[in-house]
């Protein structure tokens, strides 16, 4: 049992960002777990999401740690549990923001299939590319026509420029992916002719 505790103390490389994602959401305004999940779907979904099984236990731990507190709401008869971030929570969030993001091992299933694409016929891969292309364009449309107008209403918020940055990351990378996919499709057409 002693060994286990020592192990836990030593490792600590594998740490979850769930708590900080939630603290961040609460830094904007007090919310319930359900609200945060919904808001993430509408804002960070393109680069971050959390599942139920992560959110609820994390909030309980954060309560114990004093990073958040339950916010008594007017009207009281609501079944929602609204959390608000504490000063300790804000400090924890600031501390986390200072830590350089660490490189996570990326796994891209599309690229893996392309890398081994020589084992099947070119049109199998071409089909994947065209589907992906379609998805990318659809995502781009959502960013441009749904997310962008939505955050436009927060133009005066100090958070606005940061939200735009993440949005632009999505837009710029999707454009690059679309261009790449079309280039790759053309390459495959030439292979098919041979």
Cα separation of 69 and 88, whole Å? 11
47 binding DNA? (CB under 7 A): no
What does the buried/exposed string (b/e) look like for 140-159 if buried means 16 or more CB atoms within 10 Å of the residue's CB?
beebeeebbeebeeeeeeee
Q: Supply 53's token pair.
A: 């099984």
Cα separation of 102 and 138, whole Å? 30
91 binding DNA? (CB under 7 A): no
| CB of 73 or CB of 134, closer to its own copies | 134
Cα separation of 44 and 21, whole Å? 10
Q: How far is the CB of 159 from its own copies (least distance, A)?
A: 4
- Count of other CB atoms within 10 angstroms of residue 179: 12
103 binding DNA? (CB under 7 A): no
52 binding DNA? (CB under 7 A): yes
51 binding DNA? (CB under 7 A): yes
| CB of 20 or CB of 136, closer to DNA | 20
Which residues ranging from 27 to 46 are in contact with DNA (CB under 7 A)?
32-35
| CB of 35 or CB of 84, closer to DNA | 35
Stretch that binds DNA, among 6-14, 112-120, 122-130, 134-142 (CB under 7 A): 6-14
Q: 């990073």: which residue's tokens?
A: 67
Q: Supply 172's token pair.
A: 């710029």
Sites of contact with DNA (CB under 7 A): 3-4, 7-8, 10-11, 13-18, 32-35, 49-54, 56-57, 59-60, 77-81, 105, 107
């Amino acid at each position: 049992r002693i060994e286990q505790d020592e192990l836990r103390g030593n490792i600590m490389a594998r740490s979850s960002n769930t708590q900080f994602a939630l603290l961040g959401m609460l830094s904007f305004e007090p919310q319930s777990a359900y609200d945060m999940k919904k808001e993430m779907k509408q804002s960070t979904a393109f680069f971050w999401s959390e599942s139920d099984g992560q959110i609820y236990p994390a909030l309980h731990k954060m309560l114990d740690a004093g990073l958040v507190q339950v916010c008594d709401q007017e009207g009281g008869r609501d079944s929602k549990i609204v959390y608000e971030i504490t000063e300790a929570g804000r400090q924890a969030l600031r501390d986390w923001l200072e830590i350089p993001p660490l490189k996570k091992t990326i796994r891209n299933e599309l690229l893996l299939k392309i890398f081994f694409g020589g084992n099947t016929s070119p049109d199998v891969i071409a089909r994947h590319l065209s589907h992906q292309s379609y998805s990318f364009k659809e995502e781009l449309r959502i960013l441009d026509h749904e997310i962008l107008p939505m955050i436009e209403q927060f133009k005066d918020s100090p958070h606005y420029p940061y939200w735009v940055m993440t949005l632009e990351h999505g837009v710029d990378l999707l454009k690059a992916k679309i261009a790449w996919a079309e280039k790759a499709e053309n390459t495959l057409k030439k292979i098919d002719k041979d």
